[in-house]
Amino acid sequence: MFHTGDIVDERDQGYQWENADAAYRMLDEARLPYGMLAGNHDVGNFEDDYGSYGRYFGEARYASNPWYAESYEDNRGHVDLFTAGGIDFVVVSMSWEPGDAEIAWMNEALARHPERVGIINLHEYLLTTGGLGPVPQRVQDEVVATNPNVSMVMSGHYHDAYTRFDSFDDDGDGVDDRTVTQMLFDYQGLPEGGLGYLRLLQFDNEGAQMRVRTYSPSLQDYDAEDASLPAEDQDFVVSYETLGIEPRDKELVGDGFRAEVLTGAVIEAGAALDGTQIGAVRSAASGAVVSVDWAPGAGTHGWYVTATDAFGGEVRSEVRSVALEEGEGTGGEPGDGQGGGEDGDADGGAGPDPQVGDSLPRTGAEPWGLGLAVLLLLAGAAAILLSRRARRS
């Protein structure tokens, strides 16, 4: 998801930042990839005050995400990398009024990923007439025109929609080699700050085209009806040829692999290993540490934990393994951290995996305030359960 700036209307109104923070926290919790930048309203126009923007939407908020590749001055600019449908993208976002240093950084960021389809995301670029102001013109001349991997530019700031195509001669032979699709999309001029309209980019590999649509989830409506928003700038198609996109089948080459096959059985404590129980804890209290006993015998064994709440939210830990030698006891000597639960016991005694407690998905209520409750697909009610998995290598 791309954001083109003006997160708030008045940068010195704390409640507006709090409201925005809460709204985008939902995207964080859903782990939906998205990128932010600051508009003129976020920084006080030419005052360039990035203090509140940095506190709420700075680098620290995004640094741990796998798509977030690079930051410029605490997320004033940033690079996002993602791959979809065999297409590798690089998104370079830059906030309001880029100057010499920002333009240099954008060029360096694009040059580091020449094999990826480049998208530049800005606050101000296209005018409502399709023209370019002084700073946007410089961005086009010094960034868009000079980087052969740039395919698209997106912007907001001006309350309208417009689409413009420009072609560039990348190799200097007098023949255009590349067309850049430039899109203005900003519906703030509509009631209620835009009536919820979003721009959707749908990539159709089979049809070799990108479908651009305008949709409001709150209204469940396509294309806003307003005299300033022509239909041809709300719903249109751009070919992959124009975009310079060539989807590729990818091949991963290696000299071996390991596959972990999770079993669905929840099993009786102490039973045999052929379909058998490690253990289950029902109605675990919020914040409680729980454990079960397991004596699987000699060999290497794998297990995982599934935690569920009363509203159907479920999270599963990574697969852990424990290796026991013949004659080794099942007492409480701590292992290497791979085989057990809270203390890593080699006997497979298990408390909640640390990743389980931290990442139980939200399902309409605070799950830890309610405690863990009921869900076991095969055998009845259980909140935390340990299951054996088959291992192939």
- Residue of 129, 136, 179, 180 lying closest to 155 (CA atoms): 136
> 190-199: which pairs have CB atoms within 8 A and are 24 or more residues apart?
190/224, 190/226, 195/219, 195/224, 197/224
The answer to whether residue 1 sits within a structural domain is no
CATH number for the domain harbouring residue 143: 3.30.750.180
What pLDDT sits at residue 313? Answer: 82
The answer to whether residue 4 sits within a structural domain is no
282 lies in the same domain as 197: no
Residue 59, φ and ψ in degrees, nearest 5: -60, -35
The answer to whether residue 326 sits within a structural domain is yes
What pLDDT sits at residue 298? Answer: 86
46 pLDDT band, cuts 50/70/90, is confident
The answer to whether residue 252 sits within a structural domain is no
- Residue of 288, 291, 293, 289 lying closest to 278 (CA atoms): 293
SS3 358: helix
Among 209, 243, 277, residue at a domain's last position: 243
CB-based burial of residue 314 (10 Å sphere; 0-12 exposed, 13-18 middle, 19+ buried)?
middle
The answer to whether residue 251 sits within a structural domain is no
What pLDDT sits at residue 130? Answer: 96
368 pLDDT band, cuts 50/70/90, is very low
pLDDT exceeds 80 at position 20: yes
Q: Quick check: 161 and 198 in contact, CB under 8 A?
A: no
Residue 384, φ and ψ in degrees, nearest 5: -125, 125
Entry pTM: 0.68
CB-based burial of residue 170 (10 Å sphere; 0-12 exposed, 13-18 middle, 19+ buried)?
middle
The answer to whether residue 238 sits within a structural domain is yes
278 lies in the same domain as 388: yes
Mean pLDDT, all residues of the chain: 82
130 lies in the same domain as 272: no
- Residue of 366, 369, 368, 372 lying closest to 385 (CA atoms): 372
Cα-Cα-Cα-Cα dihedral sign, residues 145, 147, 153, 155:
negative
The answer to whether residue 8 sits within a structural domain is no
Average pLDDT over every residue of 222-249 = 93
Q: Please tell me the distance from the alpha carbon of residue 94 to that of residue 77, in angstroms, as a whole number.
A: 4
pLDDT in tens, 124-178: 999 999 999 999 999 999 999 999 999 999 999 999 999 999 999 999 999 999 9
How many domains would you assign to the chain? 2
Domain of residue 271, residue span: 257-393
pLDDT exceeds 70 at position 276: no
226 lies in the same domain as 273: no
176 lies in the same domain as 294: no
What pLDDT sits at residue 266? Answer: 53
230 lies in the same domain as 268: no
pLDDT exceeds 80 at position 110: yes
288 pLDDT band, cuts 50/70/90, is confident
pLDDT in tens, 375-387: 222 222 333 445 4
324 lies in the same domain as 234: no
232 lies in the same domain as 261: no
379 lies in the same domain as 277: yes
Among 195, 219, 243, residue at a domain's last position: 243
Q: Quick check: 266 and 379 in contact, CB under 8 A?
A: yes
Give the residue with greater pLDDT, 280 vs 255. 255
211 lies in the same domain as 273: no
pLDDT in tens, 339-364: 333 333 333 333 333 333 344 333 33
What pLDDT sits at residue 292? Answer: 79
What pLDDT sits at residue 317? Answer: 84
Average pLDDT over every residue of 241-247 = 95
Q: What percent of the chain has pLDDT over 70?
A: 79
208 lies in the same domain as 237: yes
Q: What percent of the chain has pLDDT over 90?
A: 61
Average pLDDT over every residue of 23-46 = 96
Q: Please tell me the distance from the alpha carbon of residue 286 to that of residue 288, in angstroms, as a whole number.
A: 6
pLDDT exceeds 90 at position 203: yes
Rounded to the nearest 10 degrees, how much is the dihedral formed by the CA atoms of 24, 314, 384, 327? -100
Among 211, 243, 275, residue at a domain's last position: 243
277 pLDDT band, cuts 50/70/90, is low
* DSSP state for residue 96 in the 8-state scheme: S
What pLDDT sits at residue 375? Answer: 28
295 lies in the same domain as 362: yes
Give the residue with greater pLDDT, 310 vs 130. 130
Rounded to the nearest 10 degrees, how much is the dihedral formed by the CA atoms of 125, 128, 130, 136? -20
The answer to whether residue 163 sits within a structural domain is yes
